Amino acid sequence: MIQTLKIKDRIAIPLVLRFLKPGGYAKFRTAEELRRKVELSGEELDYYEVNDQGNGVTYWNVRKDTGREFDFSEREVNVLKEGLENMDKRKVLNWDFIPLYEAFVPAAADPDEKTSHASDKTSDVSEEIPKQI
C-alpha cells in the first residue's frame, strides 16, 4: 500500500504503536521496522526546520511539508490498523490521528445508511392518499 504521509503523521505513528496488544516477536519487529521507516532523518529535520520544544510540542515549516510517499507492506498496514483501532476502542483518538485512521482503517458500513437512493429505482411510483384518522 502506497501512502503519502505528512510530518504530523510520521510523528504520530510511534504514538499509535504504543496501543498494540501484546503479541508475538514478528509483530513487534514489524512495529520497530515501521517506526524506523517513517522516522525523520537528520536531513529532513533540517529541511523542514523541525523544532522540538521538549514539552510535547513540535514545530516545523508546514509550507515545505508536501508529504513523502511510503510503501507499506500488508503486515505494516495491519500493525498500524491494530494500533489505531485500539485507540478508537479506548476513545483516545484526537484530530491529529484522524488522517492516519482514515488512511489505514477501512470505513465500516453504517447499518443505518441506505444502500440505494430513491432516484436509483426504476419502478413506477404510485401516489397514495394519506388516510385520515
What the block records as the C-alpha cell of 113 is 445508511
- For 5, residues 6+ apart whose C-beta sits below 8 A from its C-beta are 13, 38, 67, 68, 70
Rounded to the nearest integer, the mean pLDDT of the chain is 84
Q: Three-state DSSP class for 27?
A: helix
Asked whether the whole model's pTM tops 0.95, one would answer no
Closest C-alpha among 123, 78, 47, 102 to residue 93 = 102
* Range(s) of the domain holding residue 86: 2-105
Residue 11 in domain: yes
**Residue 37 half-sphere exposure toward CB, CA atoms < 13 A:** 20
What the block records as the C-alpha cell of 93 is 483518538
The string of pLDDT tens digits covering residues 60-108 is 999 999 999 999 999 999 999 999 999 999 999 999 899 999 999 987 5
Residue 42 in domain: yes
d(CA 131, CA 133): 6
Residue 52 in domain: yes
Residue 112 binned pLDDT confidence (cut-offs 50, 70, 90): low
Residue 111 in domain: no
The string of pLDDT tens digits covering residues 36-50 is 999 999 999 999 999
pLDDT of residue 119: 41
Q: Which residue has the cell 504514538?
A: 15
Whether the per-residue pLDDT at 15 is higher than 60: the answer is: yes
Residues 105, 84: contact at Cβ < 8 Å? Answer: yes
Phi-psi region of 52 (alpha: psi -120 to 50; beta: other; left: phi over 0): beta
Residue 118 binned pLDDT confidence (cut-offs 50, 70, 90): very low
Q: Three-state DSSP class for 47?
A: helix
Q: How many domains does the chain have?
A: 1
Residue 51 in domain: yes
